[in-house]
Amino acid sequence: MEADPKTMSPDLKLRRLANAYQLSRAVQVAARLGIGRLLRDGPMSCPDLARATATDGGVLIRLLRFLAELQVVEELPGNVFGPTPVSNVLHRVDNIGQGEEAWATWSALPEALESGRPVFSEVHGQSFYEYAQSHPQQGANWRESTEAFAAGLAPSLVDALDLSGAASVVDVGGGQGTLLAEILRRYPDCRGILLDLPEVVRGAPAVLKKAGISRRCEVSPGDALEGVPVGADVYLLSRVLFNWQDEQAVRLLSRCRGAVNPGGRVMVAEVLSPPEGTPERRALAGADLHHFLLWGSKFRTLAEYETLFGRAGLVLAEVREVGAGDWRILEGRIDLGSRR
């Protein structure tokens, strides 16, 4: 019987915490070995899996039994292992933000504590996004993982958005168009532009076509830090700014501010960091540290967003709640007193 964490002894609780790495490491290694993909067609024996992954069968069966305990795979009689709903998406973990690269970055936590700087670039010799470009498979898996998250969040975000009166919207850093497709379905009189890096938007036409809105949506490959399409009513940055440090975040907002139509809006969809000392703030602490180590960024408070908006020549005019945890829609309008 599983012990109740509330009644665990301090020693047992500490042991559980210290050994938690075993779970994440087992999942990461299984993902990189391709265990999930191998099991998609049905159960396989351990010897067959060992041959397919060029691993030692005696060690592999220990890993597979551990994964079965975690319900990642199913253990069947005769040292045979079968797929589960989790194994079917296991390959997504083999990505820069959750897999081997993240593991190595977290291993450099002592260096980050000493220097006060993010350590992804020091560990891997490239920034996160440079690494994604030079390692296409891990970059693609990371984007697939984020698109899956976007698909689950999109309906709640669009419920909170108010695009009434807007004839055009630019989704800045919009991935393959999952959120923009939901927006254009809800607003049939609106046209959209999807902006993201060329390797990111490569799969967007298929997403937009499946959603039935490809005729109302233009795909614009490019780097938003260098420029955004000009002349839209709404510029939306969803799950973008929390991956960037303040200087880049201000630059992105400034690009949108300079391109938006008169009377238009710049909207940001992000997690709003809860007040200090609240359970919600403590629950976000691990993710906040993760973002710092990989990107040097953080989850920001309302006051910090107000500062970013102001530096970009925008006034934070409205904050809307999203029916999904601490997510908020932050609506900015041009600060007419700004000289930008």
Per-residue pLDDT of the chain (340 residues; tens, 9 = 90+): 456 767 889 999 999 999 999 999 999 999 999 999 999 999 999 999 999 999 999 999 999 999 999 999 999 999 999 999 999 999 999 999 999 999 999 999 999 999 999 999 999 999 999 999 999 999 889 988 888 888 999 999 999 999 989 999 999 999 999 999 999 999 999 999 999 999 899 989 999 999 999 999 999 999 999 999 999 999 999 999 999 999 999 999 999 999 999 999 999 999 998 877 777 778 889 999 999 999 999 999 999 999 999 999 999 999 999 976 789 999 999 976 664 4
Rounded to whole angstroms, the Cα distance separating 209 from 187 reads 16
Domains of the chain: 5-94 (1.10.10.10), 146-274+291-334 (3.40.50.150)
Helix (H, G, I), strand (E, B) or coil at 117: coil
Rounded to whole angstroms, the Cα distance separating 132 from 295 reads 13
Tokens of residue 315, six digits? 């006034």
Rounded to whole angstroms, the Cα distance separating 167 from 76 reads 56
Residue 1 pLDDT: 47
Rounded to whole angstroms, the Cα distance separating 319 from 273 reads 13
Over residues 120-152, the pLDDT tens digits come to 999 999 999 999 999 999 988 998 888 888 899
Contact 122, 111 (CB under 8 A): yes
- What pairs with residue 44 in β-bridges? 81
Residue 275 pLDDT: 77
Contact 237, 256 (CB under 8 A): yes
Pure H helices in 71-216: 100-107, 109-115, 120-124, 128-134, 136-160, 178-186, 198-201, 204-211
Angle subtended at Cα 115 by Cα 17 and Cα 298, rounded to the nearest 5 degrees = 65
Find tokens 């296991």 and name the residue.
Answer: 90
Find tokens 């689950």 and name the residue.
Answer: 152
Rounded to whole angstroms, the Cα distance separating 106 from 5 reads 25
Residue 269 pLDDT: 96
Helix (H, G, I), strand (E, B) or coil at 217: strand
Residue of 267, 79, 39 lying closest to 160 (CA atoms)? 267
Which pTM was predicted?
A: 0.86
Residue 206 pLDDT: 93
The overall average pLDDT reported for the chain is 93
**How far from chain centre, in Å, is Cα 291?**
10
